[in-house]
Structure 1
Amino acid sequence: MKSIRMIFAATTALFAASAVHATDLEVTHWWTSGGEAAAVAELAKAFDATGNKWVDGAIAGGGSTARPIMISRITGGDPMAATQFNHGLQAQELVEAGLMRDLTGVAEKENWKDVVAAPSLLESCTLDGKIYCVPVNIHSWQWLWLSNKAFEDVGVAVPTNWEEFVAAAPKLREAGKVPLALGGQAWQRRGLFDVLLISLGGKELYNKIYQDKDAEAARSEDTAKIFKAAADAREMSEGSNVQDWNQATNMVITDKAGGQVMGDWAQGEFQVAGEVAGEDYTCLPGLGDNALLTTNGDAFYFPVLNDEEKSAAQEELASVMFDAKTQVAFNLKKGSLPIRKDVDLNAANDCMKKGLAILEKGDVIASADQLVTPDTATQIEGMFTEFFSDMSITPEDAQERFAELIENAD
């Protein structure tokens, strides 16, 4: 009896000790689709296993809606414990203002630099030699997702490149299907153009425009061909009538649309729907023409908190997000590639394997978000919103407006 009481007392003490160190952390992000929610659940599960509690702060509407809310809270003195941003310059001012926590100690202790698969993404977290965020995945935009059944229904072979996809559009239209599913948000339209620029124009043209800010390259005949392809895409997407990217993905999943140009996060939606890569749908990196991928992704920043307990839990969360097992569980659901190169990906599907092969060959380039300021990106998004919404804007007029934005880019 005495031993039972001693065991009970020890167990009670253990739970009491755990309760002292356990804390709730609010984590804000804009992952609200089915596949994204499933991926977030893996991060939450891993963090909860430490004895702490993930308090989900999802904000619907995508990054363009969520970021201003997140920034306002941080600058207004109501910070969350952790928040999502994309790589690039989105959080730089917050870091420079001393509002973000330095994670260098965690990163050095766990040798992040030795195991990261895309060093440029860890570099994007670094300012003045200090690391301020946790990169959690490698995302790439340059994918064409095709419904195999949609093409079977109209008696056309599943395209192997962009040109074949454009050629198949009239057959899809005749059968009452939308050839190209495209959401109405500005970032989707600009993203589509950037994919066309990389995949049809090639690395040199893309870098001249976005990296070198070469306005003459933006006015060139080579770029004119990209705007012609954008005009084809505009015509193919007419009647799409959806707003969110995952709604457009669902049109492909349900065979109402022939295809969608979207980042690898679309894979998460196919998986939630029970679709099998290579059987139910086809994925073409680089639109099947030029298998180059940008390496961007998501990262989590940790605002400075005046709370020792929560600050300690922030370090635990950063460690959990970068952990190899968490990386596998999260990215298999998210559709992205793990940020670590030392993980077991035997469960990877056909599309993820294609992405890994491209990454291994080094056929990667920096995303436009890493090369232009948020202000320039917003201006370009606005221009493409007008172009895709107004059929009267000619490709030539749109190209000149684009060249002017590049000429005056920060």
Structure 2
Amino acid sequence: MRYCLTTAALAAGVAFMTAAAASATDLEVTHWWTSGGEAAAVGELAKAFDATGNHWVDGAIAGSGGTARPIMISRITGGDPMGATQFNHGRQAEELVQAGLMRDLTDIATKEKWTEIVRPKSLLDSCTIDGKIYCVPVNIHSWQWLWLSNEAFEKAGVAVPKDWNEFVAAAPALEKAGIVPLAVGGQPWQASGAFDVLLAAVGGKDTFLKVYQDKDAAFAAGPEIGKVFKAADDARKMSKGTNVQDWNQATNMVITGKAGGQIMGDWAQGEFQVAGKVAGKDYSCLPGLGLNPMIATGGDAFYFPLLKDEAKSKAQEALATTLLDPKTQVAFNLKKGSLPVRGDVDLNAANDCMKKGLDILAKGNVMPWTDQLMSQDTQKQKEDLFSEFFSNQGLTVEDAQKRFADIVSSAD
């Protein structure tokens, strides 16, 4: 659904702040980071911001980004903006920017030389509209991981897989041992994300970009994407017994050995860490599903709605600076499971899985992700399709691929 910004909403948005604001240096920050690992990471941001003399007022919204974003957007367009808000860097906030409701950070970015410290360059490119920078990227989150329970494979009597093909081959042994091979939660974005990961891993980077960047509908309907749908069919068959909704509940199935694996972004690492699990010992990780190790340059960023309150505007500047501070970058990303956006920070404390990601990043094996390539309208259509595909075994691979090609043909 596209969030249409009416004239009335724009007028309301200009009001921005009211006399009811709590205190001059309190800054409400909205986000959807509510799982155990995410909450621990947010705590690092809040601690660093509070050290500036301001106060982080936590505005966590339970649920996924799909739940939180409409609430955030409604508040901004309705004249009740927060001080700062999380979005995924890319196209999620472009209409708010085009409507003049978001703060231009170009002066701060120039003063602090963000173009020299933020890497890869595509992160700031995704924050830039008409030559102006509107967000602060805080991490690099890659979707392209398969997380594996070493305990589950030991119980099933098979070796921990080294790639997707070995994982599929091990599924019967896992099922025989009473273990769900692949945990996929019921939220639509999880099914859609799993398909996108398969597209990049099975098809490769060029195939991924031909579909989502070039929007080549004929190619999306062809045999190369047919192979990806075959892999997606394997995935849905292996995930039949998941029976959980939230992504972190699915991750917990892997943590507890109830599931063999999960396709999920590197934010899942935060959950393993909170549970006291050790990478390489208790769990294993396969970037690019072990087939095409790549790092997507997606992730999280903070945007700042325009405010008329001078003190709060100053607090916004302090937060923007704090988010990119080297110490903040290390503390936050170590707990979030993501990679820092600065290449000049000390990450000696990184675990085995994070080191794999850092190595891939250092080699330049990067690619853009769907949030950077497609509008939220197209993303929603894709989520609806793959939610149905994973939940309805009666939807054939052929019909699903045809519908997918139709979505690509009208993608924007």
1:378 & 1:167 partners in 2: Cα distance?
Answer: 32
Alpha-carbon contact 1:22-1:53 (below 8 Å) kept: no
The residue that corresponds to 2:204 in the other structure is 202
Residue 184 of structure 2 aligns with an amino acid whose one-letter code is: L
Shift of 1:86: 0.5
Deviations 1:12-64 (A, max 9, x none): xxxxxxxxx96100000000000000000000000001111000000011100
Segments of structure 1 that go 5 or more residues without pairing to the other structure are 1-20
Shift of 1:293: 2.1
Aligned residues: 390
CA-to-aligned-CA distance 1:106-150 (integer Å, 9 cap, x gap)? 111111110112211111111122111110000100000000010
Q: Distance in 2 between matches of 1:404 and 1:30?
A: 31
Corresponding position: 1:104 with 2:116: no
Give yes or no for contact 2:90–2:371 (8 Å, CA) kept in 1.
Answer: yes
TM-score of the pair, normalised by structure 1 = 0.94
Contact 2:89–2:135, Cα closer than 8 Å, also in 1: no
SS of corresponding position for 1:358:
helix
CA distance in 1, matches of 2:326, 2:131: 24
The worse-fitting range, judged by mean Cα deviation, of 127-136 and 251-260 is 127-136
Q: How does 1:1-400 map to 2 (within 5 A)?
A: 23-400=25-402
Q: Do the aligned partners of 1:36 and 1:333 also contact (CA within 8 Å) in 2?
A: yes
Greater C-alpha radius of gyration: 1
Q: Distance in 2 between matches of 1:109 and 1:293?
A: 29
Distance in structure 2 (CA, Å) of the matches to 1:64 and 1:134: 21
User: How far 1:220 sits from its partner (Å)?
Assistant: 1.4
Q: Secondary structure at the match of 1:229?
A: helix
CA distance in 1, matches of 2:351, 2:362: 16
Contact 1:22–1:51 (CA<8 Å) still a contact in 2? no
**Amino acid corresponding to residue 208 of structure 1 in structure 2:** K
- Rounded to whole Å, the distance in 2 between the matches of 1:152 and 1:160 is 14
Of the structure 1 ranges 328-337 and 381-390, higher mean CA displacement relative to structure 2 is found in 381-390
CA distance in 1, matches of 2:172, 2:318: 54
Residues 220 and 405 of structure 2 are in contact (CA less than 8 Å); yes or no, is this contact kept in structure 1?
Answer: yes
Cα RMSD for the two superposed structures: 0.9
Cα deviation digits, residues 359-400 of structure 1 (max 9, x gap): 111111110121111101100110111111110011111001
**Cα distance in 2 for residues equivalent to 1:109 and 1:283:** 39
Counterpart of 2:38, as a letter, is E
Q: Describe the superposition over 1:269-316 as per-residue Cα deviations: whole angstroms up to 9, x where unpaired.
A: 000111100000000000001112211000000101110000001100
Instruction: Judge which range, 243-252 or 363-372, deviates more.
Output: 363-372
* SS of equivalent to 2:30: strand
- Structure 2 Cα separation of the partners of residues 23 and 292 of structure 1: 41
SS of 2:82's equivalent?
A: coil
SS at match of 1:28: strand
What SS is found at the alignment partner of 2:359? helix
CA distance, structure 1, for counterparts of residue 84 and residue 167 of structure 2: 42
Partners in 2 of 1:158 and 1:268 — Cα distance? 21
Shift of 1:102: 1.2
Q: Structure 1 residues 179-188 or 97-106, which shifts more? A: 97-106
SS in 2 for 1:243: coil
Structure 1 stretches of 4+ with a deviation exceeding 2 A read none
Residue 31 of structure 1 aligns to which amino acid in structure 2?
A: W
The DSSP-based 3-state class of the residue aligned with 1:409 is: coil
d(CA) in 2 for partners of 1:205 and 1:220?
A: 11
Secondary structure, counterpart of 2:379 in structure 1: helix
Residues 225-280 of structure 1 deviation map (CA, whole Å, 9 limit, x = unaligned): 11011011001000100111000000000000000000000000000111100000
After TM superposition, the score normalised by the length of structure 2 is 0.94
d(CA) in 2 for partners of 1:407, 1:75: 31
